[in-house]
Chains A and B, each alone.
Chain A
């Protein structure tokens, strides 16, 4: 099975559309390192799941790829929008930040005054911009959302996975798991590139906010791009 494993590695390393994974990883890393890392981990697990599913079912096109892509695209756009309006990454409970972002927060004095779970009171940073480099507590909902976004990304059929699909179908579920793992590992090189690129910027606090905004826009753009691209392909079906 060495040639099969080498083939899976080769597909994983191939560049086709790798910029999408670089961009997504860059975007999630923009939120925080743990969010970015969870995206990569989720993507890995998503690939394993779809790889075994392809092999077990015997075909991947029973459900058109447009549905996978649409769900992922919506998730990516939503994630980016929430990052952008400060729902993610700010202090305080999720619902309070959501109310604030939607303009529903009770305002007293300057900006939104809220309290965290411990009852301490402070000004919301989204009401008055914090100085560059301000880091906020890690947000659990964001980290888990990033993880699920990664799973969605991994489980969304892409060109590279489609190239590998015939082999996954031919080798059976157990070997498909091994091949998927090799593929996922090899193709993780590109998200890691995105992660490290964002980390480089994140290490200079002056760029922290720029990084967050750029990352959010990148996620939104990729979500729309993938959905539109797949919709066009769906409208002009092929069948070699």
Chain B
């Protein structure tokens, strides 16, 4: 088959393949989603603006908050913040400044936390400089005083090789001069164990009365390892009233970057559910539960309830809820290869594993986003390429909306990957064919130019060069 015929066939087949692809629903494109939306569970769903319908709120690498709402049978972009700071992967929703209104709280890679009014989108507060990668964010009443506090876990890399947790109390009051409301902060527990530097990548964060002693606890997951070495990570439980360390888990062999406290087996006792992983090592989901004595860790007051099989690297995307309406909770985990796993909250059996959805599904939320009476799994997907860290993705960013009962994909927000892939393959194939043609042409051109001495072939070893000055093709 000639090169020309091969090129024609290849082009035609590629064109047919491209035309047969479904057109992308471009209502929300990859520009709006940004790079790696919802990473480290920075994707939440709640009715933040009080309009009666829930919104999807997410952060992204580019440093923006995005808000997506559902209405009239489709999803639409509702708001996108200006660029705040890159790696904006700490997100929580709640009344952070105790003004009676829901806020969007976002933490970024440069070590700042921002509070926006969820309805007006006015910026209410920006934190002072804190340790970078403020990604472990929770708004909750940690000391049971009736006022919410803002808990922030931080830490990332070698430039700041340690993490820290900050607990801020935000209050809003009129400015004495301007008369306008302003939000001020007070840092709590400054001398307590919770404020000491430890580990890094404190991204798993939950607030709950996990030992049922009447006090809330701050539960934090962290990672230790940096660079090319095995993973190391822990779960710590701090007293929410004093900031004292109550428990430190054994090494989970990976960064604990997904963390939820919920009663997954319905026995009335909450479990700490975590998802871990480190770079390209294995990833696991696991559970600890308060036991009092005879457990693991330091002191040994929590038992290890469950440790899953290896489900693939970076099992960071994590949420707990009744996704299929069977009145039992499921543990839903997304990981770096690009799968979503659903485990039974009681038996821990695998109930479902998704098809490959694209790399880096590291943000999971569960909610009835379209209010059809069925819970959906909302998954943020898409990687990035960080400095000195191979974490790029091979697909554009997406947010998947998956029916929790049927597991059918209801919507894919973002753009189609295969169209781009087909075009790229076509272009590359055509370029190769073109190069081959040029190569062939140059050979023929040279031979036509000098028909007596065509392009020389390899000489036999037994034929030494004859007259070095004149040997060769010309």
Does B bind A? Answer: yes
Q: B474 and A238: CB pair below 8 A?
A: no
Q: B471 and A166: CB pair below 8 A?
A: no
Q: A239 and B473: CB pair below 8 A?
A: no
Q: A131 and B312: CB pair below 8 A?
A: no
Q: Does residue A163 face the partner (Cβ distance < 8 Å to B)? A: yes
B136 to A: closest C-beta gap in Å: 14
Q: A166 and B359: CB pair below 8 A?
A: yes
Q: Does residue B180 face the partner (Cβ distance < 8 Å to A)? A: no
* 0/1 interface trace, chain B 406-449, chain A, CB 8 Å (1 if under): 00000000000110010011001101100110110011001000
Task: List A157-172 residues whose CB lies under 8 Å from chain B.
Answer: 159, 162-167, 169-171
Is chain B's binding surface mostly helix, strand, loop or mixed? loop
Q: Of B278, B394, B435, B456, which is within 8 A of A196 by CB?
A: B435
CA distance A11 to B424 in the complex (A): 11
Smallest CB-CB separation from B356: which chain A residue? A3
Q: Of B229, B356, B395, B469, which is within 8 A of A4 by CB?
A: B356
Give the one of A3, A11, A14 with max B CB within 10 A. A3
Give the B interface residue count (CB, 8 A).
75
Q: B278 and A130: CB pair below 8 A?
A: no
Q: Of A11, A14, A240, which is within 8 A of B389 by CB?
A: A240
Q: Does residue A137 face the partner (Cβ distance < 8 Å to B)? A: yes
Q: B280 and A13: CB pair below 8 A?
A: no
Q: B282 and A116: CB pair below 8 A?
A: no
A114 to B: closest C-beta gap in Å: 10
Q: A237 and B388: CB pair below 8 A?
A: yes
Q: Does residue B266 face the partner (Cβ distance < 8 Å to A)? A: no
Identify the stretch in A54-62, A99-107, A142-150, A214-222 within 8 Å (CB) of chain B at 4 or more residues. Answer: A54-62
Smallest CB-CB separation from B431: which chain A residue? A193
CA distance A127 to B456 in the complex (A): 21
Give the one of A10, A16, A132, A238 with max B CB within 10 A. A238
Q: Does residue B468 face the partner (Cβ distance < 8 Å to A)? A: yes
* 0/1 interface trace, chain A 107-148, chain B, CB 8 Å (1 if under): 000000000111011110100111111111110000000000
Q: A197 and B435: CB pair below 8 A?
A: yes
Q: B356 and A135: CB pair below 8 A?
A: no
A54 partner residues in chain B, CB cutoff 8 A: 280
Give the A interface residue count (CB, 8 A).
69
Q: Does residue B164 face the partner (Cβ distance < 8 Å to A)? A: no
Q: B227 and A239: CB pair below 8 A?
A: yes
B314 to A: closest C-beta gap in Å: 7
Q: Does residue B335 face the partner (Cβ distance < 8 Å to A)? A: yes
* 0/1 interface trace, chain A 2-46, chain B, CB 8 Å (1 if under): 011011011101101000000000000000100000000000000
B464 partner residues in chain A, CB cutoff 8 A: 91, 116, 120-122
Q: A117 and B461: CB pair below 8 A?
A: yes
Q: Does residue B470 face the partner (Cβ distance < 8 Å to A)? A: yes
B201 partner residues in chain A, CB cutoff 8 A: 239
Q: Does residue B80 face the partner (Cβ distance < 8 Å to A)? A: no
Identify the stretch in B190-198, B294-302, B336-344, B373-381 within 8 Å (CB) of chain A at 4 or more residues. Answer: B336-344
Q: A58 and B282: CB pair below 8 A?
A: yes
B458 partner residues in chain A, CB cutoff 8 A: 32, 135-138
Q: Does residue A204 face the partner (Cβ distance < 8 Å to B)? A: yes
Q: B226 and A134: CB pair below 8 A?
A: no
Smallest CB-CB separation from A130: which chain B residue? B468
A201 partner residues in chain B, CB cutoff 8 A: 442
A169 partner residues in chain B, CB cutoff 8 A: 280, 282, 312-313, 337
Q: Does residue A210 face the partner (Cβ distance < 8 Å to B)? A: no
* 0/1 interface trace, chain A 192-231, chain B, CB 8 Å (1 if under): 1100110111011110000000000000000000000000
Smallest CB-CB separation from A137: which chain B residue? B461
B462 partner residues in chain A, CB cutoff 8 A: 116, 118, 120
Q: B472 and A133: CB pair below 8 A?
A: yes
Q: Of A10, A11, A133, A189, which is within 8 A of B456 by CB?
A: A133
| CB<8 Å pairs between A and B, sample of 11 | A10-B394, A59-B279, A59-B281, A61-B229, A64-B228, A116-B461, A116-B464, A130-B471, A138-B458, A167-B356, A239-B223
